[in-house]
Chain A
């Protein structure tokens, strides 16, 4: 088991790294071939079993037919013997043997095709009568022959001998006959005296031979006949057996009961069918060698192998073709995705193949389009952001504000208002320092407030204290963050649009508080206010102030807030004519990571 695990791991690892086409082709082929082989083997064995049964059944029928024929053969012999005895011998006075001879000859003639001779002997072995030949051999002692002995020993029934050479009569043709003898004890009437005798009917052995040779046909194996002791009466290879060139298991077969048996003889497996012939006790034995059964469908097996081989080839070919058809679109789609991975968004994604692959291709194409759109959108956003930042930066170094402020400083210096000049320079420096914020875009709110303070200080001096400023900043919010340069543009607008016309009674209120999870910074003025239309146009950039200032504008601030924090946040302008304007900055409450604010004295 341990050894198998690394093998499975290797196989699993191997399979994971193979292409989908090979995976499909190999798995389909394995499944198909395995199924075919399994089915082929099962069918073959089923067929073989059926064929074996069929062969055995055929042989069984053959054996039954042979048994029937032999029974008929034996019955005919018995009929002849019975006829001879009951119709002739019993009715004749053998004091006149001529009548017996005549009757005997008649019976012989009517059965000469299957008889060799009919003869009758007295108890001492003397010939009473015979047909066709009465020339008994002088040197033959009939009483010592087996047929005679058996007839005398058991007098009730006729006795069948096995085949033997007839050793009774001289034959001028010098021929010798193989016969099967039927002998029986008979009562011979000589005048008024009854004596025992033996009636012998010698049937031609060729009758038995013909039964077997005619019935052999195309049946597998061979059939032979034995007596109840196993002595062979007929065997297709009996001459070989007698010559010692062939062996048969006939003695064992004599012990088999009727039916089908399996045996192994001379290293060969065989099916044996046995049928007993009634009356004689002879057994008909059919032998079917197992390899003969196998040979009978050898050609079919060969054809089956060929068909399976051809089918396997076809299956492999079809699997390769089908797997290619399935895998190629996937491969092409995969190639498209690889190009996509390498960064080429402008390529044409493969759309084709089976429905699922086509749908996948379309989906990927749609995704790529969305990606492109998103990326374009991001690019535009980034560009806007950069533009805003750039604008902010530009505003940070707006030459007009700088020039004017520097002019004011020069004027102060020239007017020997050194203290005011120094304050202004300090504020300007602080202003620019916070503006730059070391390049950061997100600064603490307290820094943004300080930036506004410095800006307002400078502007107040420039505007000759035309307005006052109130700071209502909740200290809680000092340590939260904001994007920089969002209050100053509001103040700039307030100064340019509201305070310029004021004569000392201008008021700018800077409010800062937290509500819920958000931060609110408000710049309110008590200027002339604006109409609703003008308010609506401010954030869209359509108002076009036309006046000089930092140049960033409300729209810029609004966009920057929304760009950074999202559309939920930004500016909200409320204005009432002749009352004033409030611009509210809405930010999320995000704490600063810098150390907590300590109030800076300017």
Chain B
């Protein structure tokens, strides 16, 4: 009887040792082999300098999370739907979470149709409650720009374009409402970026107006860059954007006032939010994507130049 007890004891001990060693080996193997993959899909016109800053934010978040640097796919906002193919491709490549930047309603509808089970976070454009969205306060930006422009001795016009992006639509709505409140309603210039030439549109819009007495508000970066190329030297802008070209235009005095958002923070917070939904991070305290209004005079102030010219590491 005693001999059997000893044998049982030995067997139990051996089993425990085996379990412990196996756990140790597995956790070591899992650590070496378990790589989390997230995918970033950016809808833009291929403007890389703006992406550098957001990319920095995404990379910083990935370093802190200990996950692999994500693959960023740039997709032109051409109006045709490639979303389902792109999403499927990302899933096939092992993506465990997707960050969609500057997406449109069409894209979000496509997400709903495909019934993806992956965690998805939207950056800049919130369409419905199904997907969390990270971005600056678009209405706030529109209002800030309106407040600035209302004090200027100009007639205010606003380029009505890019409203298929919800972020631009919110800015536009807020800008127009604020201008109405300030008794300086802005004249809207409709513009379809896919089918019209901006130069022609602006020329037609200002034909019966003195360009020097007009100040144009452009509420998204791509349109702002297009407007910089399109308008004459007499036209003054204010706008919302942050690319090098836009900042250069600010420095040159072409853009009178610029509202810019912290693209680095958008990328960082967007990635951390996605990580939380993937279970890789603890719940975050509320983080805000800042925006500021800068002028040619204030752009080189310390607090502005840090965000306007983020250090690319």
Contacts and interface: CB of A to CB of B under 8 A. Distances in A.
A164 B264 contact: no
Contacts of A236: 313
Interface stretch (B8-16, B32-40, B234-242, B275-283): B8-16
A239 B24 contact: no
A314 B9 CA distance: 10
Interface size for chain B: under 10, 10 to 19, 20 to 34, or 35 or more residues? Answer: 35 or more
A167 B296 contact: no
B17 A245 contact: no
A137 B300 CA distance: 13
A245 B265 contact: yes
Interface string A221-258: 00000000000000011111011110000000000000
B307 A242 contact: yes
Interface in A158-188: 164-165, 167, 174-176, 178
Contact of B244 (A139, A164, A174, A244): A174
Contacts of A299: 28
A176 B307 contact: no
A303 B309 CA distance: 48
A96 interface: no
Interface stretch (A62-70, A305-313, A410-418): A305-313
A378 interface: no
A243 B262 contact: yes
A209 B13 contact: no
A321 interface: yes
Contact of B253 (A139, A167, A303): A139
Contacts of A209: 311, 313
B296 A239 contact: no
A85 interface: no
B17 A310 contact: yes
A17 to B, nearest CB: 21
A239 B244 contact: no
A242 B57 CA distance: 12
A139 B296 contact: yes
Contacts of A139: 253, 296
B16 A164 contact: no
A26 to B, nearest CB: 15
A165 B6 contact: no
Contacts of B96: none
A243 B290 contact: yes
A245 B20 contact: no
B307 A243 contact: yes
A175 B243 CA distance: 11
Nearest to B246: A174
A238 B309 CA distance: 12
A178 B311 contact: yes
B185 interface: no
B175 interface: no
Given A239-B311, A244-B290, A324-B2, A174 B268 contact: no
Interface in B267-290: 268-269, 287-288, 290
Given A174-B244, A175-B244, A324-B2, A317 B10 contact: yes
A239 B57 contact: yes
A240 B60 contact: yes
A217 to B, nearest CB: 15
A174, A299, A310 — most chain B CB neighbours (10 Å) = A174
A441 interface: no
Interface residues of A, number: 33
B306 interface: yes
A245 B310 contact: no
Nearest to B9: A317
Given A213-B313, A239-B311, A245 B268 contact: yes
Contacts of B56: 239
Nearest to A244: B290
B306 A242 contact: yes
A342 interface: no
Contacts of A167: 300
Nearest to A306: B20
A244 B57 CA distance: 13
A164, A237, A243, A299 — most chain B CB neighbours (10 Å) = A243
Nearest to B5: A320
B305 A165 contact: yes
A313 B13 contact: yes
Contact of B309 (A137, A165, A313, A317): A165
Contact of B269 (A137, A242, A245, A303): A245
Interface string A320-356: 1100100000000000000000000000000000000
B187 interface: no
B76 interface: no
A520 interface: no
A575 to B, nearest CB: 75
A205 interface: yes
Given A165-B300, A175-B244, A178-B311, 13 more contacts: A139-B296, A164-B302, A165-B305, A167-B300, A174-B244, A176-B244, A239-B57, A244-B290, A245-B265, A245-B287, A306-B24, A310-B17, A317-B13
Interface of A: 137, 139, 164-165, 167, 174-176, 178, 205, 209, 213, 236-240, 242-245, 299, 302-303, 306, 309-310, 313-314, 317, 320-321, 324
Interface of B: 2, 6, 9-10, 13, 16-17, 20-21, 24, 28, 56-57, 60, 244-245, 247-248, 251, 253, 262, 264-265, 268-269, 287-288, 290, 296, 300, 302, 305-307, 309-311, 313
Closest A-B pairs by Cβ, 10 of them: A174-B248, A242-B306, A243-B265, A313-B13, A165-B305, A167-B300, A239-B264, A174-B244, A306-B20, A176-B309
29 contacts: A164-B302, A164-B305, A174-B244, A174-B245, A178-B309, A178-B311, A209-B313, A236-B313, A238-B311, A239-B57, A239-B60, A239-B310, A240-B60, A240-B264, A242-B306, A242-B310, A243-B262, A243-B264, A244-B290, A245-B287, A299-B28, A303-B24, A306-B21, A309-B16, A310-B20, A314-B13, A317-B9, A320-B6, A321-B6
